[in-house]
Amino acid sequence: MHTDDQIIELFRAAVKEVDGKDLGAITRETEISDLGLDSVMTMEVIGVLEEKLDMRFPDEDLATLKRIGDLTTLVRKMAA
């Protein structure tokens, strides 16, 4: 079971892996679309995160992800 902070750190590592860049400060309120990733990159980050967490997000849940907080909520819901 991961805490929000741990999930955010995994997300940060996934962005680093995909885009090679370090994200600045991000919180639960940060909008994923503001991170400077295009749509393909965003899905790639999701893919890397899935591997790190060893889970697979359903497509229909991904359609509702906007903020980092939505992502952490989804991860905790799926791990529960």
Site of tokens 């860049």: 21
CB atoms under 10 Å from CB of 14, counted, come to 20
Out of 5, 27, 66, 78, point to the residue binding other proteins (CB under 8 A). Answer: 66
Site string for other proteins, 4-43 (x = CB under 8 A): ---------------------------xxxxxxxxxx-xx
Instruction: Encode 50-61: b = buried (16+ Cβ within 10 Å), e = exposed.
Output: eebbeeebeeee
Which of 1, 22, 54, 59 lies at the binding interface for other proteins (CB under 8 A)? 59
Answer for which of 54, 58, 77, 80 binds other proteins (CB under 8 A) is: 58
Nearer to other proteins (CB atom), residue 16 or residue 69: 69
d(CA 36, CA 39) in angstroms, rounded, equals: 10
